[in-house]
Structure 1
Amino acid sequence: MENVVRACTLVDNADGLLIAAGAGIGVDSGLPDFRGNAGFWKAYPPLAERGLPFREMANPASFARDPRLAWGFYGHRLDLYRRTRPHAGFAILRALGERMRHGSFVFTSNVDGQFQRAGFAPDRIAECHGTIHHLQCSRPCRDTTWPADGFAPEVDLARCTLLSPLPGCPHCGALARPNILMFNDMAWVDVPSDAQLMRLERWRTGVERLAVIELGAGTDLPSVRRFTESHGVPAIRINPREHRIVRGVGLAMGALAAMQAIAQEMSIDVS
């Protein structure tokens, strides 16, 4: 509990909260984090049978090679994220930010839209890898994206194959893909993400006493961990396996358990 108390002190002294989130934050909501091929293949047995690793599926080449298989994978994820309810830790994070003069801002590598579903303001979220809830042209024919709201994928889970019609670009008719930064991706439309990061930078300049809470960010893809450490302030790193941090407080806990412990220590009730 000593580290929880230290974490609460960092939050108590802040006038702005930066929430840095990796895939691990969604585990308590029932989402897979694809930790290694073993975790990925456990979530997608048909891809395991074909020996297709995550890096090969999360790749623009997969849409050119087999668009129905690629959209079977991403279509299932889109439907899963639409149906998933964010766990109570998200509400606690919101409550912490609402206590502060400058509120909170989210920086996340997740593409699932869980922070928006949890009630965080869209203009206070930066998605550095894009979002599955917007589509783009696979070519791309222009630097624009559009909401995926009208796309209702029907997927054969036994084969991880899209059964419904493939989505198309409304501008040129080419295959549409998720607006997600993939491996070996030279076609990602980064305009929306860049605008989000600019808003985050403007917000950061107004915060005098920053608190950073990092949740579920691993070392395999260290984008979020590097971002946390780039701010030069003591941070709170929440991770059940990789919690060590040079400057700040590490909590060897899952996101939900850690946020509940912080809420209890700070007498925060979000029920």
Structure 2
Amino acid sequence: MTAGLDRAAELIRSASALLVCAGAGMGVDSGLPDFRGDHGFWRAYPPYARLGLRFAELADPVHFADDPELAWGFYGHRLGLYRRTTPHRGFDLLRKWGAAKPGGVRVFTSNVDGQFQRAGFGGVAEAHGSIHHLQCLRPCGADIWPADDVEVTVDPETMRARPPLPACPHCGGLARPNILMFGDFAWLPERTDVQLAELREWRRAQRDVAVVELGAGTAVPTVRRQAELASAANAALVRINPREPEIRHGRGVSLPLGALEALTSLDARVS
């Protein structure tokens, strides 16, 4: 492990820019659930275990039309949870490392929780959207707006939202989070597309980028694919994952650790 940490620190220290690629495991040390498997999801949300509802079933836009109180119960609870959560110290370490580099730091994440922005990062590309932004369910147009003023009251026993539910300011119909869900054909990607375009432009301007991937599993490989593509030219990939740390063809360094533990251990070597 010591050799791996030393090699990872050297990759980060010698790079001119830093790209952070983060999955759900990044938030575990902040107290957020990663929804790993049905049982992991049910441990986080016991009412859904009683109902036999899986994460993939709840994260389906059809519920907003068929049972909006159920849909907004799930997403309203998550919105409140993410607002109350303080990002762990590992976020600050990544931001510090990036601030010391000529090319700075950028983030690519599948997380919708807004934790990187809350930790002070700019240049965040949210591949699956953000729970802190809303869109019309229909949708009646292409507008995406902040959820800053939205408060959803959720019954903790039934996990159902109590009216009034968030509404579209244009047509008055139901609003939904601007999140890419399973089987989602009505998600408005424009906000995310702008973020991704900015990330691509930044990448083209960088010659020597170190990629730090954190908490990204293989079940939804969006983040791992991005990390591997971004590090393909120089193999400067640091994969931090306690369960699935393997790197194909030895193209980088794998650290079988949680995010905060790994970042804290690396900081003593990077700084």
User: TM over 0.5, yes or no?
Assistant: yes
Separation in structure 1 between the aligned mates of residue 42 and residue 64 of structure 2, nearest angstrom: 19
Match of 1:11 in 2: 12
With structure 1 as the length reference, what TM-score do the two structures score?
A: 0.96
- Contact 1:155–1:164 (Cα < 8 Å) also in 2: no
With normalisation by structure 2, the TM-score equals 0.96
Name the aligned partner's letter for residue 92 of structure 2.
A
Contact in 2 for aligned 1:16/1:104 (Cα 8 Å): yes
One of 240, 246, 266 as aligned partner of 1:238: 240
Residue among 248, 253, 260 paired with 1:256: 260
CA distance in structure 1 between the partners assigned to 2:34 and 2:154 by the alignment: 20
Question: Which amino acid is the alignment partner of residue 226 of structure 1?
Answer: R
Gaps of 5+ in 2: none
Aligned residues: 265
Q: 1:120-168: per-residue Cα shift (whole Å, max 9, x none)?
A: 02xx000000000000001111112100011111111110011241111
Report the CA distance between 1:172 and its aligned residue: 0.9
Alpha-carbon distance between aligned partners in 1 of 2:74 and 2:264, rounded to the nearest angstrom: 33
The equivalent of 2:63 in structure 1 is: 62
For the pair 1:200 / 2:199, whether they are aligned, the reply is yes
Q: Deviations over 1:226-262 (max 9, x none)?
A: 1111121320000001001121000000000000001
Counterpart amino acid of 1:104?
A: V
SS in 2 for 1:230: helix
What is the aligned partner in structure 1 of residue 146 from structure 2? 147
> In structure 2, what is the Cα distance between the partners aligned to 1:65 and 1:220?
28
User: Corresponding residue for 1:116?
Assistant: 117
SS in 2 for 1:62: helix
Structure 1 residues 15-56: Cα deviation after superposition (integer angstroms, max 9, x where no partner): 110000000000000000000111111111111111111111
Shift of 1:11: 0.8
Structure-2 separation of matches of 1:40 and 1:27? 13
> Which portions of structure 1, spanning 4 or more consecutive aligned residues, are displaced by more than 3 angstroms?
none
Q: Residues of 1 paired with 2:170 and 2:65: CA distance?
A: 19
Q: Distance in 2 between matches of 1:20 and 1:106?
A: 6
- Report 1:151-170 matches (<5 A): 151-170=150-169
**Residue matched to 1:44:** 45
2:226 and 2:143 map into 1 onto residues whose CA distance is: 26
Mark the runs of 5 or more structure 1 residues left unpaired by the alignment.
Answer: none
- Match of residue 188 from structure 1: 187
